Amino acid sequence: MDRSLVRAKKLAPHVFLNPEGRDALPSDLVDPEVWHGIMHLPEDVSIRGSDHEGLRLRLMYQLWGDWLEAIGDPDKPDELLDCLLEAADCFQGATFNFLHGHYRTALAELRTALELVTIGAFGNYYPADPGYVEWKAGESELFGFTRCRKRLLGNVKRGQAKCLFEDDAPLAVTYRKLCNYTHARPDVGYGVLWQSNGPVYNNDAIRLTFFSGFTVQALCYLLVRLVRPGFAIPEGSELLFELDWMPDHLPLVRAYTELFGKPPNPPLREEEGKK
């Protein structure tokens, strides 16, 4: 495709369920130089990324699609449902920001998804917990991931992936790592990820974001299974537990085996995982 021929255009109104069937006429057009100043670096990253990261983008897009299928029945909601819906938008936002070079924002989206699913899992266990009720009402600033994880650690039975909630297990370790990027603590800000003063294509940051996304989605699926015992991971997302070159492969497989009563499929070779 000749990229010089690509032009931005609006989607048709019906895509957004616009009952009027038409858009309002432009009323305050952005200046071309302002548009260019905002977009020229992210657009460059997106072109370079789509030139060289097609497989990773395809996998991230596939996993987001699988997550949409796994959310549950909105006509039969549990405490987890809204958190899973919001996590889906986080995964979509992480992919978009990954493509456009905003790696720290992508990592922050992953952190939000992990926290939301953990809170939702807690809510399924303890729907009347005062802290959880306050959180749902937007009245609590202290209720969050760590409180939920530690409470679950104390109450989940052995044989139900209790090891997942330990202080040094991937759930807590991954969340702490993502918090560093979310809060842009020293040595983990945008400048470090870009090695530049603006969005650029950076292989180390790409690998970090990609592998973090895989780990977060695997952890989230385990949390869903914990509180929905009949839940089945979409077939395409089973690969999250089949890639032995992924970080935290062994503890994730152990938790999967306890929760599903059987191990995942045998590990794929790296070349197979890239098909």
Evaluate whether residue 140 is within a structural domain: yes
pLDDT greater than 70 at residue 248: yes
pLDDT greater than 80 at residue 17: no
pLDDT in tens, 35-44: 899 999 999 9
Q: What is the pLDDT of residue 240?
A: 96
Q: What is the pLDDT of residue 41?
A: 92
Q: Smallest Cα–Cα separation from 119: which of 94, 142, 97, 92?
A: 142
Q: What does R_g of the chain's alpha carbons equal in angstroms?
A: 20
pLDDT band, residue 5 (cuts 50/70/90): very low
Evaluate whether residue 123 is within a structural domain: yes
Rounded distance, CA 31 to CA 33, Å?
5
Q: What is the pLDDT of residue 19?
A: 56
Cα 119–Cα 122–Cα 124 angle in degrees, nearest 5: 115
Evaluate whether residue 250 is within a structural domain: yes
Indicate the burial class of 192 (C-beta count within 10 angstroms; 0-12, 13-18, 19 or more). middle
Rounded distance, CA 159 to CA 256, Å?
10
pLDDT band, residue 21 (cuts 50/70/90): low
Residues 6 or more apart whose CB falls under 8 angstroms from that of 70 comprise: 84, 221, 224, 231, 233, 234, 237
Evaluate whether residue 43 is within a structural domain: no
Evaluate whether residue 33 is within a structural domain: no
Residues of the domain holding 115: 54-273
pLDDT greater than 50 at residue 215: yes
pLDDT in tens, 136-178: 999 988 899 999 999 999 999 888 999 999 999 999 999 999 9
- Number of domains, the chain: 1
Helix axes 170-182, 103-125, angle to 10 degrees: 140
Evaluate whether residue 47 is within a structural domain: no
Q: What is the pLDDT of residue 20?
A: 64
Evaluate whether residue 246 is within a structural domain: yes
Phi and psi, residue 243, nearest 5°: -100, 95
pLDDT greater than 80 at residue 53: yes
pLDDT greater than 50 at residue 1: no
Q: Is 189 helix (H, G, I), strand (E, B) or coil?
A: coil
pLDDT in tens, 88-128: 999 999 999 999 999 999 999 999 999 999 999 999 999 99
Q: Which letter, b or e, does each residue of 41-67 get, where b requires 16 or more Cβ atoms within 10 Å of its Cβ?
A: bbbbbbeebeeebeebbebbeebbbbb
pLDDT greater than 50 at residue 6: no
Evaluate whether residue 26 is within a structural domain: no
pLDDT in tens, 216-237: 999 999 999 999 999 999 999 9
Q: Is 32 helix (H, G, I), strand (E, B) or coil?
A: helix
Tokens of 213: 């996304």
